[in-house]
Chain A
C-alpha cells in the first residue's frame, strides 16, 4: 500500500511539472506577443498624429513638424529596384547551377560553404566591403547603385537557398519526362523547373527584399547622407532617348537612415517623426513578409506531385 501511495505521489508530481511547463511555455509565448504589442502601441501612440499625407510628400526639415519622408521612401524604393535587378538573376542562376548542374565535387562544396558562411556574416561587414570596393576602388560613390549592389550581395544567400529548396521539391520524374521528349538540360529547366519553382523563388525574393529594405548598417557605412532635399533624377525623360540612368549615380537617403537620424536627435518632436517613419517601415516589411508567408502556405496546400 505504501509503495502504491508513493508511486501516486511521484506520478502526481510529474504531471504537475508537465502542467507547470505548459504554463511556462504559454508565458514565453505571451511575453513575445506582449513585446510585439508594446512595440506597436508605442509607435502608434507617438507617431500616429504625424501620419498625414504631407508626411509622405515633404522632404526632411530642421523643424520636426514640417519634416517628411519623401526623399527616404523614394530612395528606399530606388535602391530596392537595383537590389532586385541584381539579386534575383544572380541568385536564381546560382541556385539552378547548384541543384541541376553541380556535381558533388570540390568546387560546388566550396560554393556551398561560402553561401552558408555569407548568410552569417554581419551586415555591417558588407558595408565595409562596399566602402572599400564599390565606393573607393570602383569610384561609384555613395550612390543608389552602390547601395543596391551592397544589399543584393547581402540577400543573395536568401535567394539562392529559396531557389534551391523550390527546385528540390520538383520530382525527378518531371525532368525525365522532358529528357525523354528530347529536351536539352536547359530546355528542361526553362520550360519545367523554372515555372514550377517560381512561387517558391518568389517567396524567397520577397523575404530577401523585406530584409534589405530594413537594413541600415551597410548603407550608413557606405556613407549615405541623412539629409537630402531632392529626389534622384527621373528614369524617364522628355528628350530622346527618353531613358536616363542618372538616378543610379544619384546620392540618396533611405527609410532606415531617416529613422536613425531622427532617433539620434535630442529634440522630443523628432521622436514622433521617428515613430511615424518606423511605423511606415514596419508596415512595409510586415506586408512583404505576410505576402511571403501566405504564398508559402498556399503553395504547401496546393502542391500534389
Chain B
C-alpha cells in the first residue's frame, strides 16, 4: 500500500530495498542449510548403522553378540561374538596408549615448560608433519620395519602381531596427545608459575605440582581423544595385525580388530542384504558408540578447563 502512494523515485527505492532484503534472507537460508549438513551427516550415520544393525539383530540374538566367544560370521557354523573383535581393538589400543600417553605427556611438558622458543618453533611443526602421514604408510612401516626389528628381540614373534601394530599406532597418536596437552598447559596463567618460582620451586617442581594439576582436565581430554583415535584406527591394524579373529589379550598374537574386520569384509564381494554384509554395520555401530562415549567425555572435559581460565 505504501508503495502505491509513494512518488515513483521512493517506490523504486523501496522495491530495491525489498529485493535486497529478500536476497539477504535467501543467502542466510542457504548458509544455514550448509551448516545443517553436519547434523544431517550425524543423522545419516546413526540411521544407516541402526537400520542395518536392526535387521542383523533380528537374525542374531543380542545376547549371543555380547557373550559368544567365537566370531565366524562367514562360516556355515556362524558365530557372532563381538568380544573376539573387541579384544583385538582393546589390546592394540592399550599397547598404543601405553606408549603414546607417557611419551606425549613428557613431550608436552618439555615443549611447554622447558624448551626454548627456537626448539619449540622447530619441534611443533615437525610433530604436526608426523601427524599428517597417512595411516596406510604407518601400516606399511609396522609390517615391513617394526615387525622385523622386533623379531630380532623376540624370536618366535609371528609376522602379523598386535604388538607391532600397537606400537606404531602409539607413535602415530603421540602428536595428537602432545599438541592438545601442550595447549592446555600453555593456557595455565603465568602468575601461577611465578608464584611457584617465588616459593623457590624448580622448573620441574613447578611443572609437576602446579602446571600439570591446573591443566589436568585438558590433559585428560587429550588422553581420551587419543583413546578414541586408537580405537577407531584402521589401516595400521588391517595391514600389520593380521585378519584372524582371535579372542586374545596377548600382544604377541595376531588378531583382528573391529576396524580390520570391516575392511576385510568390504574388500570381498558380499551380497548386499546378507547377514555377512550386515555384520560390518553391527561392528561399526559398536565402534561408533564406543568412540562417541569417549568423544563426549573429552568434549565435556575440554569445555570444563576452558571455563576455568
Residues of A within 8 A of B (CB): 14-15, 17-18, 21-22, 24-26, 28-29, 31-33, 35-36, 38-39, 42-43, 46, 89-91, 93-94, 96-98, 101-102, 108, 110-111, 113-118, 120-129, 131-133, 136, 153, 156-157, 160, 184-186, 207, 210-211, 213-217, 220-223, 226, 256, 259-260, 263-264, 271, 274-275, 278, 281-282, 285-286, 288-290, 293
Contacts and interface: CB of A to CB of B under 8 A. Distances in A.
Nearest to B296: A117
Q: Which 9 A-B pairs have the closest CB atoms?
A: A214-B134, A122-B232, A25-B110, A93-B34, A132-B48, A97-B31, A120-B295, A217-B234, A94-B35
Interface string B69-82: 00000000000000
Interface stretch (B6-14, B136-144, B150-158): B136-144
Given A29-B110, A184-B20, A216-B134, A156 B287 contact: no
A260 B281 contact: no
Given A101-B28, A117-B295, A216-B136, A21 B287 contact: no
Contacts of B15: none
Contacts of B280: 128, 221
A124 to B, nearest CB: 5
B197 interface: no
A285 B106 contact: no
A156 B38 contact: yes
B171 A32 contact: yes
A282 B138 CA distance: 10
Contacts of A33: 126
B68 interface: no
Given A36-B130, A185-B24, A282-B137, A94 B272 contact: no
Given A117-B292, A184-B24, A260-B239, A94 B31 contact: yes
B244 interface: no
Contact of A281 (B20, B48, B126, B137): B137
Contacts of B205: 14
A285 B138 CA distance: 13
B262 A221 contact: yes
Contacts of A89: 34
Interface residues of B, number: 87
B44 A215 contact: no
Nearest to A296: B125
Contacts of B111: 25
B272 to A, nearest CB: 6
Contacts of A275: 140, 144
Contacts of A108: 35
Given A111-B36, A121-B288, A282-B137, A290 B49 contact: no
B144 A42 contact: yes
Interface in B252-309: 259, 262-263, 266-267, 272, 280-281, 284, 287-288, 291-292, 294-296, 298-299
Contact of B202 (A18, A217, A226): A18
A128 B49 contact: yes
Contacts of B90: none
B115 interface: yes
A293 B125 contact: yes
8 contacts: A124-B234, A132-B281, A133-B48, A223-B266, A259-B136, A274-B144, A289-B128, A293-B128
Contact of B132 (A185, A274, A289): A289
B200 to A, nearest CB: 8
A97 B144 contact: no
Nearest to B119: A29
A128 B41 CA distance: 12
B35 A111 contact: yes
Given A39-B137, A90-B37, A21 B295 contact: no
Contacts of B138: 39
Which of A93, A120, A215, A290 has the most CB atoms of chain B within a 10 A radius of its CB?
A120
B272 A125 contact: no
Which of B132, B225, B232, B291 has the most CB atoms of chain A within a 10 A radius of its CB?
B132
Contacts of A127: 262, 266
A114 B202 CA distance: 43
B52 A132 contact: yes
Interface of A is mostly: helix
A32 B174 contact: yes
Nearest to B303: A116
A33 B107 CA distance: 12
Contacts of B132: 207, 210-211, 214, 285-286, 288-289
Contacts of A90: 34, 37
A221 B266 contact: yes
B235 interface: yes
B231 A186 contact: no
A256 B138 CA distance: 11
B102 to A, nearest CB: 9
Contacts of A24: 106, 110
B134 A215 contact: yes
Given A35-B171, A39-B141, A221-B263, 4 more contacts: A36-B130, A125-B45, A216-B136, A216-B235
A22 B35 contact: no
B163 to A, nearest CB: 16
B34 A125 contact: no
A210 B126 CA distance: 16
A111 B266 contact: no
A290 B107 contact: no
A156 B37 contact: yes
B32 interface: yes
B103 interface: yes
B127 interface: yes
